Amino acid sequence: MPITPSRLFLASATRDFKRTGAVAPSSKTLAAAMTRELVANYRRPAAVLEVGGGTGSVTREIARSLSAGDRVDVYEIDGRLASLIRHRVKTDEGFRRAAAAVRVHCRPIETIDRRPQYDFVISCLPFTNFQPAAVRNIFEILRAVLNPGGICSFYEYVLVRKAARMISGKQSERDRVAGVAEVVKEFIARYQYRNEIVFRNFPPAIVHHVRFGD
């Protein structure tokens, strides 16, 4: 039986859920919501950064929105998933328009050159699984690499942090999740200009679109 993106995603999630942070790949509806501001504000040439490429479902939607001459850098820390995205870029018709522009980097986003270089940042990272300080650092990285006026889109699963706090048996874990929530809420309050809830995803998600100020 061939290894499909869904099977590979499940295998990666089973192996290291803290990195994957989900039980299923992003739906087409979520991928469309994540790229909605990219489509609405697209100007050639565009430079796009995707963080946490997963199986490439959001990457494919990004590529479908771009043209020759644009640039897409995908950071995916899981080696098997990074290889899957590279394979899809070469073989999936959805990547045809921008295949030459897509570069997949199998390394953490913390290694990126922190200078303004992207017009759009799309993050699929599972912030709830991280330490609060790591989440703050990642947001600062995303802010640092965006060009002036650039847009960052990211999502979080609806009620996941609340559920994690309720079912955790350790106070230290509840404190960690609460700390992540405070960091995310802080950045949303300061920089978000719109959001949208995506029910056609498992689990449902809320997409945040932000423009970072000084």
| pLDDT exceeds cutoff 50 at 13 | no
Query: pLDDT per residue over 76-108, tens digit each?
Result: 999 999 999 999 999 999 998 888 899 999 999
Confidence of residue 165 (pLDDT cuts 50, 70, 90): low
At residue 8 the predicted structure's pLDDT band, cuts being 50, 70 and 90, is: very low
pLDDT per position as a tens digit, 26-45: 899 999 999 999 999 999 99
**The model's pTM:** 0.87
Task: Please tell me the distance from the alpha carbon of residue 53 to that of residue 84, in angstroms, as a whole number.
Answer: 10
Band (pLDDT 50/70/90 cuts) for residue 20 is very low
3-class SS of residue 48: strand
pLDDT of residue 5: 57
The mean of the pLDDT values for the chain is 88
β-sheet bridge partners, residue 208: 154, 195
* Residue 122 binned pLDDT confidence (cut-offs 50, 70, 90): very high
Extract the runs of DSSP E, i.e. beta strands, from 53-210.
Answer: 71-75, 102-105, 118-123, 146-157, 192-198, 205-210
Pick one of 3.30.413.10, 2.60.290.11, 3.40.50.150, 3.40.50.300 as the CATH number of 5-210: 3.40.50.150
Q: Is the pLDDT of residue 190 over 50?
A: yes
What phi-psi label fits residue 165: left (phi over 0), alpha (psi between -120 and 50 degrees) or beta?
alpha
Task: Please give the structure tokens belonging to residue 79.
Answer: 């080696």
Q: Quick one: what percent of the chain has pLDDT higher than 90?
A: 72
Cα–Cα distance, 133 to 125 (Å, whole number): 15
Task: With beta carbons less than 8 A apart as the criterion, state whether 143 and 210 touch.
Answer: no
